[in-house]
Every structure is written in structure tokens, then in C-alpha cells.
Amino acid sequence: MNHHHHHEDNDSELKITLTDKEKLGKLLNYWIKHNEEHADTYLEWSKKAATEELKDVAQILEEASNRALSLNALLKEALKKL
């Protein structure tokens, strides 16, 4: 004997609504992680450029990595103030 129950999907009752402050906290954490990943990639390619004797490109990419990390310092400061 088959016994099937059909229940209405009441997702709207189960959804959790975040405040803008909570959303901003999540965004800041995401941006920080994302920037760290970019900084790592820039540094990795800076080293590769240096091995190809592309000194100017290597320096620019290293600076891009440093700036991404500097930006993260600001984002972390904002996160602390939430």
C-alpha cells in the first residue's frame, strides 16, 4: 500500500531575513577573503613574471598584492566597528 503525504512548501515561513547590518558583515567577510585570494594570485604571478625576467611586471603585480592587503586592513576595521 502506497501512502503519500503532500505538504505545501512553506519556505516563506522558514526564511530567515537578515538585517542590512548582518548582510554588511557577511559582505565584508566575503570581500576580505576574496581580496586575500586575489593578493595571493597576484604574488604568485609576480614571482612567475620575475622568473621570466619581466621585472617591471613582477613589481607591479607585487604592488597590486600589497594594495589588496592594504584594502583588507580597511575592510577589517569596518568589520570591527559593526
Asked if residue 4 belongs to a domain, the reply is no
Enclosing domain of residue 28: 18-80
Asked if residue 30 belongs to a domain, the reply is yes
How many domains are contained in the chain? 1
Asked if residue 72 belongs to a domain, the reply is yes
pTM: 0.74
Q: Determine what percent of the chain is predicted with pLDDT higher than 70.
A: 84
Query: Who contacts 35 (Cβ-Cβ below 8 Å, separation ≥6)?
Result: 68, 69, 71, 72, 75
Confidence of residue 15 (pLDDT cuts 50, 70, 90): confident
Question: How far from chain centre, in Å, is Cα 56?
Answer: 28
